[in-house]
Structure 1
């Protein structure tokens, strides 16, 4: 299992529009085979921060989605990114 998580920064005046414009990406990801969870959300404390969280069953599932994902101008609106891939060896209940 993979988790992609972190934060991006966009212009604070564009942040809410950016998150709204990501809706199609979130919908498409959540329908993709192997997507276990996917979220792009506005941070409630920092006005230019967007939180990223993805959980995928496998590298192949992630690669298939990235290859078929929507291609628009969302990336050009990102000023800074701190997002990483985490490979999960096991999952435990809390």
Structure 2
């Protein structure tokens, strides 16, 4: 996480246990551009996983607008 957060274009990155569902882990990444993400992925080491992953779901969301939640 520290390596990713230190890269140009990384606005946020978090890996955390789910507070409700035991055994679930949430991974959140926010990059300023696809180019910044691609540049990091090109040099990032593959993560070492010491547990079996039973199910995974990786989705990319493209957001066209961001603003305050209460206008």
Q: As a proportion of its length, which structure holds more strand? A: 1
Q: As a proportion of its length, which structure holds more helix? A: 1
- For 2:35, the equivalent position in structure 1 comes to 60
Taking structure 2 as the reference length, the TM-score comes to 0.83
The separation in 2 between residues aligned to 1:50 and 1:43, in whole angstroms, is 5
Number of equivalenced pairs: 69
The separation in 2 between residues aligned to 1:43 and 1:31, in whole angstroms, is 25
Answer yes or no: is 1:36 the counterpart of 2:11: yes
Flag the 1:88–1:78 CA change in 2: closer, same or farther, 3 A.
Answer: same
Taking structure 1 as the reference length, the TM-score comes to 0.65
Shift of 1:82: 1.2
CA deviation profile, 1:24-57 (whole Å, cap 9, x unmatched)? xx11111011011000001112111001111010
Larger Rg: 2
Higher relative contact order (CA 8 A, sep 6+): 1
